[in-house]
Chains A and B, each alone.
Chain A
Amino acid sequence: MFLKKLKRTIRSGTHNFVRSGFTSVSSVLVMVVTLFVITSLIFVQAALTSALADMKDKVDVTVYFTPHADTNIIHSVESIVKKAPEVKSVTYTSSEDALDAYKQKHINDNMILQVFDILDENPLGASLNIKAKDPSQYESILNYLKSDSVLSSGMLSVIDSVDYNRNKLVIDRLTNIIDGAQRLGFVLAVILIFISIIITFNTIRLIIYMSREEIGVMKLVGAGNKFIRGPFMVSGILVGLFASIVTIIIFWPVSYWLGHNMTDFLGVDLYAYYKSEFLQLFFIQIVAGVSIGAISSALAVHKYLNK
């Protein structure tokens, strides 16, 4: 009995969708706009996340040691720093490596290179480059190091300088920008999605408004509410389904163009993202399209069923 009803509901809804022709095409196009907005926001979020990850990766703190600092003490500090839960990685650079890097950097500056030849010893100390899991955690890492229980006075005495204070302003601003961008992105996404859904809902409501007399006739011939509502919901689901197919197809050339022309600017290859996340994107579009279509139809029909 249930299967028979389901079969009839699907058949009737499909007939309505196909026979409504231009009206169905209009609904699909409006729904495409909604799904386009939703998918665009997913792309923007991907680009934003990639850019933020890139920026986060560029933030670090370097602890410079005095040139005569004992290597064992430096490695002790390194192992203590690694234990901090906020620390993502610690890279040790010896004084020799620091000197080589400095010389390499100034390879065309003979004056600087001659200064090093005059000096008997290496003036550069070793360093530890620390990366936190999140830029906002640098302050707590440094506070952790400064706390008496972590580093002994012997360890603190070999630390020449920490470049965090020099970078603090930049790091703080970056942290604020990252937080702000994420919050703004979320609010914008919610607003845009809400507006798109309202537009789609009203389009479907308008189409069902044109069928209000038909709904009245269905009631008069003894059709129950579920029997009337079902085919309209199927039509709404088909609108969502076709719109998601059209949208995913539209995004192929769009992402191809963005991937080949905007990767440097955006910091992420959106065509590669489209290809790698194709199934997920299509699934999100289908779920969004079908849900909006079915719910909008059900709500719009409900108004006339209770008259």
Chain B
Amino acid sequence: MIYFDNVTKQYTDTDTEPSLEGVTFSIAPGEFVTIVGHSGAGKTTLAKLIIAEEKPTVGKVSFQSVDIHKLSNSGLTELRRKIGVVFQDFRLIANKTSFENIAFAMEALGKDDDEIASDVMHVLSLVNLDNRSLHFPHQLSGGEKQRLAIARAIINQPEIIIADEPTGNLDPISAGEIVNILKRINSLGTTIILTTHNKTVVDSLGKRVITLEKGRIIRDDKEGKYVI
């Protein structure tokens, strides 16, 4: 489904150490893959390359056998509709309510108002935010914001969800809730790529773990543990 072919990413020519260097791996549909590593190891860069927020300096990133960095603007929009993204800093739209933040992703796909109304409320109830539908992001707690971000990511039933440090800003209880939601989504067939440096989260999952260090893959374990 996703294939990194000898990918190197260097943000500036003066960088002595690239953010990613010679990274090659693939992810199959339905997998739950955790990318771990210290801060600066290249986890976020890897996530950004998948959603085409950044371009590789060398190598190729393919999604369903298509080089995503050769896509046109409209092709890129289509790609992003197949990917749900969750960020550590939530990236919710500040002047939209919880309902509208999720509805926006459906409106972008041209869905009907009736369908939007029922689906959004359904997804909000899945993440236990049905009583927060009219709240703005600044009226929600950190855990609620992240659950809202997950609700937005799954509303269009994407084939893959990329969660970049989704538990980074959360307390252990909220972090546990987020991980459980991601596991439930994965159990329904959606591919999950989770970047984190939270050992408890990684060890509790018991799924594939790719370990990065200084931009290189140093370990790729099926049912792995957090080992650095």
Interface size class of B (residues with CB under 8 A): 20 to 34
On chain A, the number of residues with a Cβ less than 8 Å from chain B's Cβ atoms is: 21
A57 within 8 A of B: no
Partner of B156 from the list A19, A214, A216, A222 (CB cut-off 8 Å) is: A222
B107 touches A219 (CB 8 A): no
Q: Which of A10-42 contact B (CB under 8 A)?
A: 15-16, 19-20
A221 nearest in chain B by CB position = B105
Extra contacts besides A220-B53, A222-B105, A223-B104 (15): CB < 8 Å: A15-B96, A216-B91, A217-B93, A218-B93, A219-B77, A219-B80, A220-B80, A221-B85, A221-B105, A221-B152, A222-B80, A222-B109, A222-B156, A223-B105, A224-B74
6 A-B pairs with the lowest CB-CB distances in the bound complex, closest first? A222-B81, A223-B108, A19-B95, A222-B80, A221-B105, A217-B91
**Chain A contact surface mostly:** helix
A213 within 8 A of B: yes
A8 within 8 A of B: yes
A115 within 8 A of B: no
A304 within 8 A of B: no
Q: Which residues of B contact A169 (CB under 8 A)?
A: none
Q: Which residues of B contact A218 (CB under 8 A)?
A: 93, 104, 108
Q: Which residues of A contact B109 (CB under 8 A)?
A: 222
Q: Which residues of B contact A75 (CB under 8 A)?
A: none
Q: Which residues of A contact B92 (CB under 8 A)?
A: 217
A214 touches B94 (CB 8 A): yes
Q: Which residues of B contact A8 (CB under 8 A)?
A: 107
A213 nearest in chain B by CB position = B91
A5 within 8 A of B: yes
B111 nearest in chain A by CB position = A4
B65 within 8 A of A: no
B73 within 8 A of A: yes
Interface string of B68-86 (1 = CB under 8 A from A): 0000011001101100010
A225 touches B105 (CB 8 A): no
Query: How distant is the Cα of A20 from the Cα of B93 in the complex, in angstroms?
Result: 12
Partner of B95 from the list A1, A20, A220 (CB cut-off 8 Å) is: A20
B93 touches A214 (CB 8 A): yes
A227 within 8 A of B: yes
Query: How distant is the Cα of A247 from the Cα of B91 in the complex, in angstroms?
Result: 38
Query: How distant is the Cα of A216 from the Cα of B74 in the complex, in angstroms?
Result: 15
Query: How distant is the Cα of A221 from the Cα of B109 in the complex, in angstroms?
Result: 10
Q: Which residues of A contact B156 (CB under 8 A)?
A: 222
Query: How distant is the Cα of A20 from the Cα of B94 in the complex, in angstroms?
Result: 10
Please give the distance in Å from B176's CB to the nearest CB on chain A: 26
Query: How distant is the Cα of A4 from the Cα of B92 in the complex, in angstroms?
Result: 24
Q: Can you give 24 A-B contacts (C-beta < 8 A)?
A: A4-B113, A5-B110, A15-B95, A15-B96, A16-B95, A214-B93, A217-B91, A217-B92, A217-B93, A218-B104, A218-B108, A219-B77, A219-B80, A221-B104, A222-B80, A222-B81, A222-B105, A222-B108, A223-B105, A224-B74, A224-B77, A224-B108, A225-B73, A225-B77
Q: Which of B38-96 contact A (CB under 8 A)?
A: 51, 53, 73-74, 77-78, 80-81, 85, 91-96
B85 touches A220 (CB 8 A): yes
Interface string of A222-238 (1 = CB under 8 A from B): 11110100000000000
Q: Which of B99-117 contact A (CB under 8 A)?
A: 100, 104-105, 107-110, 112-113
Q: Which residues of B contact A15 (CB under 8 A)?
A: 95-96, 100
